[in-house]
Amino acid sequence: MADDGHPHVLHKPTLFKVFGALIVLTIITVAVAYLPLGPLAMPVAIAVASTKASLVVLFFMALKDDNPVNGLTFTIGTIMVSVFIAFTLFDTAFRGDLGNVSSQTIEEIEKEQEEAQEQQIDPENLRVAPADYPDQQGATSETGSEN
């Protein structure tokens, strides 16, 4: 321990093992970025990053062999950060549904809109104003000039 006045020294094999683990975890981080994990991409990336940070703190910063109170402080801090990140991810994941008050899901509404756009609409059904009816407009102008 650090209480006896001697610095804590890690053996080279331990340092190389931790370094190798960090390299492997970095490769996993890059691989996760290219995998189509969907909504799991962020939690997996955070888990890998947390594992790498824990290895650095435990071995390179010597928390493993330090006072247990410091380990408890690190653990509680990590748990609290995880809770805050989880709440943030829940908030951002459901923001789009706040305005959705219908009984249909967003996917169903979008599907109906796409189907409506794909349907061919008869030009006769698009006439809404008198100017849209060329035959009647000509008849009205002729009758207007007769009076």
Q: Which pTM value belongs to this model? A: 0.50
d(CA 56, CA 112): 52
d(CA 113, CA 126): 18
Per-residue pLDDT 10s for the chain (147 aa) are: 445 666 667 788 888 999 999 999 999 999 988 988 887 888 888 889 989 988 888 888 877 777 888 888 888 988 898 899 888 877 776 666 555 566 777 788 888 888 887 776 776 767 677 776 777 655 555 555 544
